[in-house]
């Protein structure tokens, strides 16, 4: 798996000379994989992150927000096609002369049910130029990074450290809406629960018990699924067994 850093220290002198003209850089990559070794899905997200001098990259929250927005900033997003990041051009601004750039593959895959009811992982990608789900951020190695125009400037492309792998920080559950069961259907010894008020960066399941007091939240009855952009998902319990009361909750 490629996950060493693309850390490019853009020379301050070079940016200082042409900052007013907006020096254009480009970045791309090939042959990237997720942490589980599978090839990156088309439409997956790459983030080119600026890190302030004497600071470090603090990672992303599960909802796509930066953990340290004072010292980290996403300079540009791009997407995957054919196993790597498409060639993307960005303009470096004067305020980013003091710092480094690091390129990260964001794992935005969520667990969803396909038409046959099988659980699959699907990349959420970008929506309106923003990312709303991050499971992990993996630094990309062997990426191409350089000038996108013929201006004369120097770029220090030497690696200055290993960007590593950052698991996304969980979002405060108190800020997540309580899921609501809008429909409950029994059939063939199993049950289907239609659940609303879900969010994509959180996974949900069903717990059960013979009474409300005995609902066991250590034994999920349904496969974990992420919430949806529409807010509604269906959770299926294959066998309700002795359970008579059910509770939908987030993954613990």
**Half-sphere exposure (Cβ direction) of 204: Cα atoms closer than 13 Å:** 31
Per cent of the chain over pLDDT 70 is 83
Instruction: Read off the tokens for 149.
Output: 């125009």
The model's pTM is: 0.80
Instruction: Read off the tokens for 145.
Output: 């990074």
- d(CA 24, CA 110) in angstroms, rounded, equals 34
59-89 pLDDT, tens digit per residue, is 999 999 999 999 999 989 999 999 999 999 8
Residues 14-36 have a mean pLDDT of 69
Asked if pLDDT for residue 194 goes beyond 60, the answer is: yes
Coil, strand or helix: which one is 104? strand
**Half-sphere exposure (Cβ direction) of 205: Cα atoms closer than 13 Å:** 17
Instruction: Read off the tokens for 60.
Output: 């992303």
Q: How confident is the model at residue 184 (pLDDT cuts 50, 70, 90)?
A: very high
More confident residue, 245 or 167: 245
138-172 pLDDT, tens digit per residue, is 988 677 877 776 544 444 333 323 456 778 887 77
215-244 pLDDT, tens digit per residue, is 999 999 999 999 999 999 999 999 999 999
- d(CA 42, CA 62) in angstroms, rounded, equals 21
Alpha helices in the chain (DSSP H): 12-18
DSSP string, 94-146: GGGSSEEEEEEEEE-EEEEE-TTS-EEEEE--EETTEE---SEEEE-SS-EEE
Task: Identify whether the C-beta of residue 189 lies closer than 8 Å to the C-beta of residue 242.
Answer: no
Asked if pLDDT for residue 13 goes beyond 60, the answer is: no
- d(CA 21, CA 18) in angstroms, rounded, equals 5
Q: Where are the beta strands (DSSP E) in 157-244?
A: 165-167, 180-187, 190-196, 203-209, 225-226, 233-237
Coil, strand or helix: which one is 18? helix
Per cent of the chain over pLDDT 90 is 58
Asked if pLDDT for residue 178 goes beyond 70, the answer is: yes
Task: Identify whether the C-beta of residue 193 lies closer than 8 Å to the C-beta of residue 50.
Answer: no
Task: Identify whether the C-beta of residue 153 lies closer than 8 Å to the C-beta of residue 11.
Answer: yes
pLDDT of 68: 95
Residues 111-134 have a mean pLDDT of 91
More confident residue, 11 or 229: 229
- d(CA 97, CA 53) in angstroms, rounded, equals 9
């Amino acid at each position: 798996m490629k996950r060493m850093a693309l850390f490019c220290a853009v020379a301050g002198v070079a940016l200082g000379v042409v900052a007013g003209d907006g020096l254009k850089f480009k970045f791309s990559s090939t042959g990237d994989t997720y942490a589980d070794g599978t090839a990156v899905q088309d439409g997956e997200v790459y983030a080119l992150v600026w890190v302030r001098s004497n600071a470090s990259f603090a990672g992303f929250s599960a909802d796509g927000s930066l953990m340290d927005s004072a010292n980290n900033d996403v300079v540009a997003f791009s997407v995957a096609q054919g196993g790597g990041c498409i060639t993307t051009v960005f303009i470096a601004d004067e305020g980013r002369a003091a710092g480094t750039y690091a390129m990260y593959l964001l794992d935005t895959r969520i667990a969803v049910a396909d038409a046959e009811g099988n659980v699959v992982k699907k990349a959420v990608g970008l929506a309106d130029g923003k990312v709303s789900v991050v499971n992990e951020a993996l630094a990309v190695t062997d990426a191409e990074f350089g000038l996108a125009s013929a201006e004369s400037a120097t770029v220090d492309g030497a690696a200055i450290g290993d960007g590593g792998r950052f698991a996304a920080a969980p979002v405060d559950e108190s800020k997540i809406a309580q899921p609501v069961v809008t429909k409950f259907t029994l059939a063939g010894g199993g049950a289907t629960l239609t659940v609303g008020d879900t969010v994509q960066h959180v996974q949900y399941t069903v717990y059960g018990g013979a009474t409300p007091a005995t609902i066991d939240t250590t034994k999920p009855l349904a496969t974990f699924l992420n919430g949806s952009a529409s807010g509604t998902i269906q959770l299926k319990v294959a066998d309700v067994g002795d359970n008579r009361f059910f509770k939908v909750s987030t993954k613990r």
